[in-house]
Amino acid sequence: MLADLVVIHFGKGALFDACVFWGSVGLGNISNILKSDESLNRPMGSIRSLILGAKSEDVDGLRERYGAPPSQYITLSNGENIHLRDEGDSEAPPIVLLHGHSEDLHTWNQLVKHLVEDFRVIRFDLRRHGLTGPALDNQYGIESYVSDLSLVIEHLGINSCDLVGHSMGGRIAVKFTMENPNTVRNLVLLAASGAPRGYEGSPPLAMKLMKNSLGRFLIKRMWSRKMAKDTLIDMVHDGSLVTDEEVDRMWEFSRYPGSMDAMFREFGMVWDDFIPKEIEKIKTSTLLIWGEEDTICPVEMGIWYNSHLPNSTFIRLPEIGHNPQFESPEVCLNEIFSWLGTL
């Protein structure tokens, strides 16, 4: 099961309101409702959005806001176009950063401004994310993400690198390391998914909704900037850290043309959790950094990785949630540099 979920928020009674709305509004009144400003103040956002869905963003506008230099756009040998940043001394040791589900390369901003002092830093928007956008082949299994990573490294002429992955990016990093052990010098996993969750229970509402056409319809129609903000707040322990800039970026990238449909397709694909015998074959030195307050990839998942990786170091951060590189970048940097200094 794809466990790298986005926690999507619905206001109290939002689903009920949606059903009642469609049952109570005649088709003949829809045009009048769309013209009425008073009708826009509903629990899940505007009635206009409920009927038509949130308006897609203009790609050129997104590139202007989030893709200025040092951003570049490369075409891989598989035809996929990738938004990428390659920063620092080109002769320095390369380090590749992989962001998580529904994030983008800007999630690493606070780390990159320090990493460039010692590394050639490569980060890119994964397929269907950020300014990379939906994949040409419309494939979103882990194999496609791993293949893109391999082709990016090949395109840049990198023979070996340190590899850092957060959440879903961590799962991709683990899979890549399994398949390319000689390419990865050192592996850093921040709140990585891919480990068994260690609990039983009903899947989150968002997961259930994405499994059927009605649920996908409701998500597309009810998705709003407020829900984007609530999603980001759920990813951290201290919600006050979430800025308007972060919210705007998530909200705007979620409306990149085709992005949400691509996410639905991804959620329909099977991403199996790793099993011990796979993880135990990884001999690469690995640093695990986990927030003790992570509710998306709980610290028990870090414990599982640490128990099966033969050459791992496990760091637990108190009062930190799912995004340690955003919540406490200085601590993450100190732990990474301190650990590398011991190797």
**Gap between the Cα atoms of 241 and 105, Å rounded:** 18
Chain centroid offset of residue 15 CA: 25
3-class DSSP state for residue 55?
coil
Please give the backbone phi and psi of residue 162, each rounded to the nearest 5 degrees, phi first.
-85, 145
Which regions of 228-311 does DSSP assign to beta strands (E)?
285-291
Residue 165 near residue 103 (C-beta atoms within 8 A):
no
3-class DSSP state for residue 78?
coil
Identify the pLDDT of residue 55: 79
Domains (ranges, CATH) in the chain? 1-343 (3.40.50.1820)
Dihedral sign for Cα atoms in the order 281, 286, 291, 292? positive
Residue 153 near residue 160 (C-beta atoms within 8 A):
no
Asked if pLDDT for residue 276 goes beyond 50, the answer is yes
Asked if pLDDT for residue 34 goes beyond 50, the answer is no
Residue 162 near residue 94 (C-beta atoms within 8 A):
yes
3-class DSSP state for residue 147?
helix
Q: Which amino acid is at 301?
A: M
Task: Give residue 35's pLDDT band: very low, low, confident or very high (50, 70, 90).
Answer: very low
**Gap between the Cα atoms of 324 and 182, Å rounded:** 28
- Which pTM was predicted? 0.85
Which residue do the tokens 């045009």 mark?
A: 31
Average pLDDT estimate for 85-103: 97
Tell me the per-residue pLDDT of 170-196, one tens digit each, with 9 for 90 and over. 999 999 999 999 999 999 999 999 999
58's enclosing H/E stretch is none
3-class DSSP state for residue 259?
helix
Nearest alpha carbon to residue 168 among 10, 329, 29, 323: 323
3-state secondary structure string across 281-299:
CCCCEEEEEEECCCCCCCH
Joined tokens for residue 44: 């899940």
Q: Which amino acid is at 191?
A: A
3-class DSSP state for residue 18?
helix
Task: Give residue 204's pLDDT band: very low, low, confident or very high (50, 70, 90).
Answer: low
Average pLDDT estimate for 151-178: 98
